[in-house]
Structure 1
Amino acid sequence: MSLLAELVVTLPSFTPGSAQRVCNVAGPGLLHAIFATAPGFLNIVMYVPLGLFGALAFRRPLVNFAACVNLAAATEIFQGIMANGRGCDASTMAANSLGALIGAGIAIGWLKFSGSRTGLGRRDLVRGSFVLVAGMVFLSIVLASTLHVLTGDDFVNKRKPSDLAPVLAGRLFGQGVQIKGVSLAKDGHSVTSATDRGTFTFSWPTSQLLSFESADMHAEPGDLADGELAKRGSSFAQQWWPYAIKDATPTLRPGSPEIPARVFNYRRIRGGVLMPLRIDITIDASGRVLSAAASDFLGPEPDGLPPATVSMDEAKHGAEGANPGAKATNAFLLIKKVNDQWRTLWAVNLSGSKTFGVFVDAASGEIVTPDKGP
C-alpha cells in the first residue's frame, strides 16, 4: 500500500507539451526545498513507510533503503521524461531518500527493542551497496540520454543574469529560443529578458519565475473542456511554483474580451483571511499557455500579524463615515502591505454615486492606503 500511494502521488496523468524535459540536480534553494517547505516535508514523510515496512518485511534494511533510493530517482526521471509539469528535481529525490532512511532507522530500532533479527550486517551492506550502485549507474545512463540536466553550472555558478536567462528561457519556451535582451531592474531584485518567442521576468539572484508573456498572444481556437484547461494550468503552476500552490485554491474564470481565453488563478485563504499570493495563468482553448504572473509566493502568516480586533460592522461603519453618502455593501479580510509592512485589512466595498473600495486596518480601525502592487 505504501508503494501504491507513492506511485499515485508522484506519477500524475500525462499532459503533453506542458513542460520541457529537464532535470534540476543542483538548482538554487535545494536544501530549503527539502527542509523548509511543506512539499519537502511531505516528500520525506511519503517514504518513511517504505523504509520502515520494507525493512520489517524483508529484514534487509540496507538493501531496502537502496531500493527506495532507486525508486525515488526512477520516479523523478520518469516525471521528467513525461513532461507532465511535476518535473525531475534532485531535492525531491533527496527528501524521499531521507524519509526511507528514517523509516529504516525506526525499523532497526524496533527490531532490536523487540529482540528480533534486524538483518543488518556485512551481507546486507554488500548487497545494498550493489543494488544502489547498479541502480544509480543504470538510471544515470537513462537520465543523460533522455533529459537536459540543469547542474550547478546552470544556476549557482551563473553570476550574471545574461548567463541564467537562456537556461530559464529554454525551460519556458523550449529549445532553440533566441535571447534578444536581458535587463536588471533598478532595485537589483528582478531581471527581464526578451526572446523571439516572448518576454519573461525572474527574481534575482534566486531565479524564481515572476511573469512571462508569449510573443503570440492570439488565442487559438480549440474545444478543450474547462476540466482539461484546469489541468494544463495546474501543470504549469506545478512546474514553476510547486511550493506556493500546495494549499492554495485554484479557480478557472473567463479572460478579458480582448483575449478570448481562460485565466487559471491560485489564491490562498487562511483563517478566513485572503493571503497575498497571486498566481494567474492565461490559457487559450487549445491548451496553450499565453501568459502567467505570480507574486508574494508565501507572504506572512496571519498569526504573525497584529490581531484583527475590528469587526466587519465596525469596518463598514468607519468606511461609511469617511465617505458620506456611500453605503457599505460587503467586506472581507485580506493581507496587504502598508508603508512596506504587512497588515491585516478589511476591504470594504462602497456604493453611491459610484462603486469603489476602501481599506480599513483590522487592528486600529484606521482608513489606510495599501502600497501599490497585487
Structure 2
Amino acid sequence: MLLSLPQWLGDAHLVPRVAFLALTVGLIAPLVLRRTFPRTVFAVVALICCVQCIAGIAPIPANMSVLMGLYTVAAGFPFRWGLAAALTAELGAVMAAFRYASGLDDQRSTLLMLSVLVAGVWILGLHIRTRRAYLSSLEERAARLEQERDAEVKMAMAAERARIARELHDVVAHNVSVIVVQADGASFAIDTDVARARKALETISHTGRHALAEMRRLLGVLRESDDAGAYAPQPGVAELDDLVEQVRSSGLPVTYEVAGSPPEMSEGRQLTVFRIVQEALTNTLKHGGPRVAATVRLRYAGDAVEVRVHDDGRGAAAADDGRGHGLVGMRERAAVYGGSVRAAPRPGGGFEVVARIPTGEAA
C-alpha cells in the first residue's frame, strides 16, 4: 500500500485512477487473510493479476502481493503445494514478459528477472518451511526427552521404594520375631528363673534398639535433605556370625557352616545373601514350632555361592496366613543378580531354602 502511494499521488498515470484503486484494493485486501486461508488468497490474487494482464492494464506495485502469497504457500504447506504456487507465479511471469515487454531481448530480460524473483521467493519459503519443521522436531524431541526423564525418575523412585520396602520387611519381620520369642520366654521364666528372664529382656532391649537403628537408616533415605553419606553400611556376609548369634540368643539352636573360600563379592550380593539367611531364620522362628533347630550352610563353588537354610520344624504343616512377602522378596533379590531361590518343605518334616547367587559381575 505504501509503495502504491507515490504512483497514486503522482501526475503521470499509466493506469486510470479508478482502475488503479480497484486493482490495489483487490490485490492487497485479500492479504489480510493470507495466514488463515493462504491457498485461497494466493488463488484470488493470481486470478486478479491474470485478468489484469489479459486486459492489458499496466503493472502496479500491488502486483507484488503474488509473491507474498507464493511465500506463504511455500512456507506453510507441503512441497507439492509450494511447487504448484511457484509454477502458477512463473506462468504469470511469462505472460507479463510477453504482454508488457516490447522486443525479444526485452522479453527475455524481463522473463529472466521475473523468474529469478519467483524462484528466490519460492526457495525462501521452502527454507522457512524446513526451518520451522526442524524447530518443531527439536521442540517435540525436547518434550519427549522430558517425558522420558520423568518416566525414568518415577521408575527409579518406584524401584527405590520397592527396595526400601523389602529392607523394612526383612528388618521388622526378623527383629520383631526375635522380640516375640524372647518375650514369650521371659513371661514363662519370670517366676521360676529370674536370671533367664532378665537375660531375655536384655535381648529384647538390644534387638529393639538394633531394629530402630536400621529403620531410621532406611526411612532416612526418603528424606531429600539428609546426607546419604551418614547412613550406616549395609550388612554383608561378614555379619552373618552376628545374625546367627542373635538368633541363638533368642532360643533357636542354629548351626552355621561355611565351605570354600569366599571370593570378592559386591556389597549388593553380600546384602542379598544376608537378607536371604535372615528371612529364612525368621520364618523358622515364626513357623518352625517348639524345639526346632536350624542349619545354615554357605558353599562357595566357582563363580557362585550357594545358601542353604533348613530346619526340622513343622514344614508343610506350618500355618500360613498368606500375607507374607518374605519368599517373594528373596526371589526378587536373587533375580537382580541372576540367581534363583527354591523354598519348599522337606520330605519327612522341616523346611528348606536353597539359593544360588552368582558372584561374578558378568552375571
In terms of fraction of residues, the more helix-rich structure is: 2
| Bigger relative CO (Cα 8 Å, ≥ 6 apart) | 1
In terms of fraction of residues, the more strand-rich structure is: 1
Task: Please tell me the TM-score bracket, short chain as reference.
Answer: under 0.3
TM-score (norm 1): 0.25
Q: Rg: which structure is higher?
A: 2
